[in-house]
């Protein structure tokens, strides 16, 4: 057995244009193909998905991944980072065999398990017991293995009492716990993981992190794709940075993360999709623009003053008459640590949003979220824009869609010049009183 | 190309060994040219196939008050309605047998065919979430749907037995032909179902055409009428539809009328061609499923 667990050689993946952009419009319709077949009779014979992907015109496709080569030793924990669309997920999907590469090859030696979501294959109508078996089988456990570990899995999940209840009656937390319990009992030699750490409550995330640490220390090979820089630095020895489908850096995790933070995130204070057809979203809602604004600055800005309100403006098209839409944001710091999440729901918003809970007519809408001044810390924050329909359907979730830097103007720098510890830096009320005289004896003995 | 096939074979061998103590090795690379059908891989994942079939059966009747009874009620009602309309009112010829049993002997394989094709046709699209989240041989999905439909098929045999008692039809030796006929039906259903599941994934609006096509298919198959209704010189055209030979074969096996061997032979040939074509088309498109589904 060689020392190399994963060897990737010149791996590349291309998509046809229009296949990769956005969701929704990826598959062809018969009508499209028929029209094409009629209008281009010469190409007709070659007109099927294979010949088209194999002999595409160079202008009509997009490389999601290109010339990726690296090796992972047995027992090594490798992080993969990069901004949205950099090719991280594509790489993982190729290594998990979910999708095929267009060129190059990868060789994995050892039993491979992948975890791209928690609760893979769960069916709401089935009971917890049935779902453990099903999910286990889908993730690659044998029936015997599942039988052997069943009690342990249920124990770990902490949902024993409800194990014979259909999963649709579970709370989302219970479902996640059960799903993770199954995943945690896989015994792969190579584990490929995507962002599963991003789900669940803080306690659950901690449990996942602990389990991941265990897996790593047991000498398993782990490949982890994550937006959370803190977990990359904590768990991985090594990391590779992808940008635009290319490999930028390969090195010690902390250094690669530093490099990423210093260079990868572009700033402009504004993202706009002029063409609705290309914008993230679906038939109901599509994103039009996200901007960072601040009073006293003309137009959008990528740098804001720590002492003033930061305004996050989201514009979106409502494409379905009468949809009850809601916008929301997530704010993460530069290590990927979640700072806050907020929406215009009446119970969440400081001031009541007149459109919340109301049927939206067709049109372009603009929502504004105000984050108070003297609240965020210095440094870079990234915004995720979320659009959904009430009660709880999410149509758009664009992470790291925009970022901005919070600069200290010196207001809080009069007494102290070091970095402030903490994700936020609100100004809190302090008051000190003298509440008594010196205790007899202390002063005397000195 | 030669080398590619060899490599695939080698890969299968390596994967086969993983059951013993050798290190399982996965080689990922773009597949080109003729693919092996990778049936060995399917065998390795047989447990998953079983679980998914079991899940499909379970879910199908989970929320229904009458549960599994539906598997009896549906074909029974269909038989009654068709008997009244086509046998009672339209007085369609039934080759001398009571119309209901004549009809049911043909409805039995047809119902299975229609049901399984509809279900496996939707299988890949319906499981888009799974397809994009974990790897397993994609072929398992439509095959599991056919497996689930097979359970209903088995149940509907119960009605047949009851009807045979009712009409006092004593089966002859020909009844033994039911077994090879069932295998042939499964082969035909797999070919069409697997093909349609891939087509439905590549061309999403195919799902609107599918129920309609299955409906038309039924009328060109001698389900509600006997083959003899078709003029002799047009029979060859009918034989091109493998289900016509199969349906007629069930009638011969169950009712004891003579077999039309040439017709059945053509059905076997066409079914085999359809099965291989369907499988090949599926293998060719499956590598893009996760990208287009």
Tell me the chain A residues in contact with residue B290 when contact means C-beta distances shorter than 8 Å: 93, 98-99
Q: Do B28 and A100 touch (CB under 8 A)?
A: yes
- Judge: B134–A114 Cβ closer than 8 Å, yes or no: yes
Compute the Cα dihedral for A178, A181, A187, A193 and give only its sign.
positive
What pLDDT sits at residue A35? 61
Q: What confidence score (pLDDT) does residue A219 get?
A: 78
Interface residues of chain B, partner chain A, Cβ below 8 Å: 18, 23-32, 47-48, 51-52, 55, 58-59, 62-63, 130-136, 201-206, 209, 284-285, 287-288, 290-293
Residue B16 gets which letter from DSSP?
H
The pair of three-digit structure tokens given for residue B224, joined into one six-digit string = 């509600």
Across the interface, whether the CB atoms of B135 and A142 are under 8 A apart is answered: no
Closest CA–CA distance from residue A287 to any residue of chain B (Å): 22
Pairing of strands A310-318, A285-293: antiparallel
pLDDT band for position A199 (50/70/90)? low
With contacts defined as CB-CB under 8 Å, which chain B residues touch A109? 23-26
Domains A4-111+188-263 and A270-413 share a fold: no
B16 pLDDT tier (thresholds 50, 70, 90)? very low
pLDDT digits (tens, 9 = 90+) for B96-119: 899 999 999 999 999 999 999 999
**Reported confidence tier of residue A117, pLDDT bands at 50, 70, 90:** confident
Minimal CA separation from B46 to chain A, in Å: 10
Q: At what angle do helices B99-126 and B206-220 cross, to 10 degrees?
A: 160
- The Cα B115–Cα B150 span in angstroms is 9
Contact B28 A116 (CB under 8 A): no
More confident of the two residues B191 and A62: B191
Closest CA to B54 of B149, B194, B148: B148
- Give the A:B interface size as CB pairs under 8 Å: 126
* Distance separating alpha carbons of residues A126 and A109, to the nearest angstrom: 35
Does the pLDDT at position A330 exceed 60? yes
* pLDDT at B233 > cutoff 90: no
Which of A15, A30, A95 to probe by mutation at the B interface, max B CB count within 10 Å? A30
Contact yes or no for B271/B278 (Cβ under 8 A): no
CA dihedral A315, A316, A317, A319 (to 10 degrees): -160
Chosen for mutation from B14, B48, B62, B196 (greatest number of chain A CBs closer than 10 Å) is B48
- pLDDT beyond 90 at A238: yes
In the predicted structure, residue B12 carries a pLDDT above the cut 60 = no
Instruction: Give me the mean pLDDT over the A196-215 stretch.
Output: 63
pLDDT on residue B22:
63
Second CATH level (architecture) for the domain A270-413: Distorted Sandwich (2.70)
User: Minimal Cα distance from A5: which residue of B?
Assistant: B25
Chain-chain contact of B30 with A123 (C-beta, under 8 angstroms) = no
Average pLDDT over chain B, rounded to an integer: 86
Global ipTM: 0.80
By C-alpha distance, the chain B residue nearest A105 is: B29
Of A19, A108, A125, the CB nearest to B63: A125
Does residue A27 surpass a pLDDT of 80?
no
Question: Which residue among B47, B284, B292 places its CB closest to the CB of A50?
Answer: B284
Q: Where are the domains of chain A?
A: 4-111+188-263, 270-413
Q: What confidence tier does A268 reach under pLDDT thresholds 50, 70, 90?
A: low
Cβ of residue A31 closer than 8 Å to a chain B Cβ? yes
Average pLDDT of span B215-243 = 90
Is the minimum CB–CB distance between A127 and chain B shorter than 8 Å?
A: no
Kind and range of the H or E run holding B27:
strand B25-28
Query: Which residues of B are less than 8 Å from A33 in CB distance?
Result: 203
CB count in 10 Å sphere of residue B63: 9
Question: Of the candidates B27, B206, B288, which has its C-beta nearest A30's C-beta?
Answer: B206
> To the nearest whole angstrom, how far is the Cα of A5 from the nearest Cα of chain B?
9
- Residues of chain B contacting A29 with CB distance shorter than 8 Å: 203-205
Whether the per-residue pLDDT at B19 is higher than 50: the answer is no
Higher pLDDT, A300 or A229: A300
CA distances from B199 to A13, A28, A54, B184, B196 (A): 23, 11, 19, 23, 5
Q: Which residues of A touch B18 (CB under 8 A)?
A: 111
Whether residue B30 and residue A100 make contact (CB cut-off 8 A), yes or no, is yes
Contact B204 A29 (CB under 8 A): yes
> Cβ contact (<8 Å) for A101 and B28?
yes
What pLDDT shows up at residue A2? 67
Q: Which residues contact B176 (CB under 8 A, 6 or more apart)?
A: B253
What percent of chain A has pLDDT above 70?
78
Fold of A4-111+188-263: Rossmann fold (3.40.50)
Selected for mutation to probe chain B from A23, A52, A137, A167 (highest B CB count within 10 Å) is: A137
DSSP SS3 for B26: strand
Per-residue pLDDT for A239 more than 70? yes
């Amino acid at each position: 057995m060689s020392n190399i667990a994963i060897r990737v050689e010149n791996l590349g993946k291309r998509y046809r244009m229009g296949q990769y952009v956005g969701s929704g419009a990826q598959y062809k319709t018969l009508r499209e193909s028929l029209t094409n077949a009629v209008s281009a009779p010469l190409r007709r014979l070659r007109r099927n998905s294979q010949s088209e992907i194999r002999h595409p015109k160079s202008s009509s496709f997009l490389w999601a991944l290109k010339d990726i080569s690296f090796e992972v030793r047995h027992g090594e924990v490798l992080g993969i980072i990069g901004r949205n669309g950099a090719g991280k997920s594509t790489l993982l999907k190729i290594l998990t065999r979910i999708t095929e590469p267009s060129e190059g090859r990868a060789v994995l030696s050892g039993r491979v398990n992948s975890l791209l979501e928690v609760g893979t294959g769960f069916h709401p109508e089935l009971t917890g017991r049935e779902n453990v078996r099903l999910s286990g089988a889908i993730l690659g456990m044998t029936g015997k293995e599942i039988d052997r570990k069943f009690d342990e899995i249920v124990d770990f999940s902490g949902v024993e009492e409800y194990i014979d209840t259909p999963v649709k009656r579970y709370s989302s937390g219970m479902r996640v716990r059960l799903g993770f319990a199954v995943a945690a009992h896989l015994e792969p030699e190579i584990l490929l993981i995507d962002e599963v750490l991003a789900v669940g409550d803080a306690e659950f995330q901690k449990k996942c992190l602990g389990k991941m640490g265990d897996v790593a220390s047991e000498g398993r090979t782990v490949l982890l794709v994550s937006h959370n820089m803190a977990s990359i630095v904590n768990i991985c020895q090594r990391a590779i940075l992808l940008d635009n489908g290319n490999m930028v850096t390969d090195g010690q995790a902390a250094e690669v993360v530093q490099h990423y933070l210093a260079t990868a995130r572009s700033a402009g204070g504004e993202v706009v999709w002029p063409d609705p057809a290309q914008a993230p979203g679906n038939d109901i809602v599509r994103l039009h623009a996200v901007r960072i604004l601040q009073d006293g600055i003309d137009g959008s800005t990528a740098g804001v003053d720590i002492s003033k309100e930061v305004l996050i403006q989201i514009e979106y098209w409502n494409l379905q008459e009468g949809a009850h839409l809601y916008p929301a944001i997530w704010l993460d710091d530069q290590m990927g640590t979640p700072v806050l999440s907020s929406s215009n729901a009446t119970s969440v918003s400081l001031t009541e949003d007149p459109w919340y809970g109301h049927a939206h007519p067709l049109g372009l809408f603009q929502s504004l979220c105000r984050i108070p001044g003297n609240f965020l810390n210095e440094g870079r924050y990234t915004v995720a824009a979320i659009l959904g329909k009430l009660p709880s359907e999410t149509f758009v979730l664009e992470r790291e869609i925009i970022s901005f830097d919070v600069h200290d103007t010196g207001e809080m720098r009069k007494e102290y010049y070091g970095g402030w510890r903490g994700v936020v830096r609100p100004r809190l009320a302090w008051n000190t009183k003298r509440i008594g005289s010196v205790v007899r004896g202390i002063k005397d003995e000195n | 190309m030669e080398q590619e096939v060899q490599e695939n074979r080698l890969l299968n061998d390596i994967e086969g060994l993983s059951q013993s103590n050798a290190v399982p090795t996965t080689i990922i690379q773009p597949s080109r040219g003729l693919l092996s059908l990778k049936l060995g891989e399917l065998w390795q994942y047989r447990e998953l196939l079983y679980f998914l079939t079991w899940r499909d059966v379970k879910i199908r009747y989970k929320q229904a008050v009458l549960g599994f009874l539906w598997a009896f009620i549906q074909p029974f009602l269909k038989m009654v309605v068709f008997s009244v309309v086509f046998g009672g009112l339209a007085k369609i010829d039934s080759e001398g047998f009571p119309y209901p049993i004549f009809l049911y002997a043909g409805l039995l394989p047809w119902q299975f065919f229609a049901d399984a094709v509809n279900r496996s046709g939707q299988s890949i699209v319906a499981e888009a979430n799974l397809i994009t989240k974990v790897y397993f041989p994609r072929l398992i999905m439509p095959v599991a749907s056919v497996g689930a439909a097979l359970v209903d098929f088995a149940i509907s045999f119960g009605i047949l037995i009851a009807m045979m008692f009712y009409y006092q039809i004593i089966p002859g030796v020909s009844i033994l032909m039911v077994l090879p006929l069932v295998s042939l039906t499964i082969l035909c259903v797999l070919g069409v179902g697997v093909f349609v599941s891939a087509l439905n994934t590549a061309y999403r609006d195919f799902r609107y055409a599918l129920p309609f096509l299955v409906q038309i298919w039924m009328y060109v198959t001698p389900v509600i009428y006997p083959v003899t209704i078709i003029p002799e010189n047009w029979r060859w055209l009918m034989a091109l539809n493998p289900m016509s030979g199969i349906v007629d074969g069930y009638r011969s096996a169950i009712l004891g009328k003579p077999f039309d061997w040439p017709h059945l032979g053509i059905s076997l040939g066409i079914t085999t061609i359809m099965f291989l074509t369907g499988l090949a088309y599926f293998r060719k498109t499956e590598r893009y499923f996760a990208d287009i589904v």
